Amino acid sequence: MSTILIIFCVLSAITLSTAFLTIFSKNPIHSAIYLVICFFSIAGHYLLLNAQFLAVVHIIVYSGAIMILFLFTIMLMNLNEQREVYRPRITRLGAIVSFCLICLVLITIFINSKPIVGEYTSTGEDYQSIKVLGKILLNEYMVPFEFASILLLVAMIGTVLLSKKEKLEK
């Protein structure tokens, strides 16, 4: 086994186990912390695929901004594990069975699609450095890039409007 394959296996194990722990831990704060570890290991996968820009953006956006937002919301609501009501057993059983079935179907599909995917050949040209990505983003994808900023502005206004307390009518 090469070193890269070992790194990939360790990162995958961390990703999958923390994703499971996110779902199974009773305290929502623990879930959020496990999710941060999961996001960091996914950033490690991006680094392994040599996508440096995306790895940094992923850490900033997901592990930074989104998880801080989650943690603040959890603390604002003061959730603790005593308040959590669990689903009835039949629903949980159904969830587990459907999880196994979806896994089985998707993995079988992708195993059978292997001859279509084919072998990987490297041409050695530069296609994912920050320089190339910036050129593509600001030439071909200029309009969607600006629309993304409008989307974020609208989301910000909507958030303020939704979480503002309504005034009592006098």
Partner 1 sequence: MNNILNQIGIENYIFLSVILFCIGVFGVLYRRNAIIVFMSIEIMLNAVNLLFVAFSTYHQDAQGQVFVFFSMAVAAAEVAVGLAILVSIFRNLGSITIDNLKNLKG
Q: Which of the residues 9 through 48 are near partner 1 (CB under 8 A)? A: 12, 15-16, 19-20, 22-23, 28, 31-32, 35, 38-39, 42, 45-46, 48
Please report how many Cα atoms fall inside a 13 Å half-sphere around the Cα of residue 166, on the Cβ side: 4
Whole-Å CA distances, 109 to 105, 106, 114, 120: 6, 5, 9, 20
Q: Does 82 bind partner 1 (CB under 8 A)?
A: no
Would you tell me how many other CB atoms lie within 10 Å of the CB of residue 94? 12
Instruction: For 168, list phi and psi in degrees, rounded to 5.
Output: -75, 140
Closest approach, Cβ 129 to partner 1, in A, equals 9
- Interacting residues with partner 1 between 150 and 169 (CB under 8 A): 151-152, 154-156, 158-159, 162-163, 165
Tell which one of 10, 136, 142, 146 touches partner 1 (CB under 8 A): 136
- Candidate residues 86, 89, 90, 115; the one interacting with partner 1 per rule CB under 8 A: 86
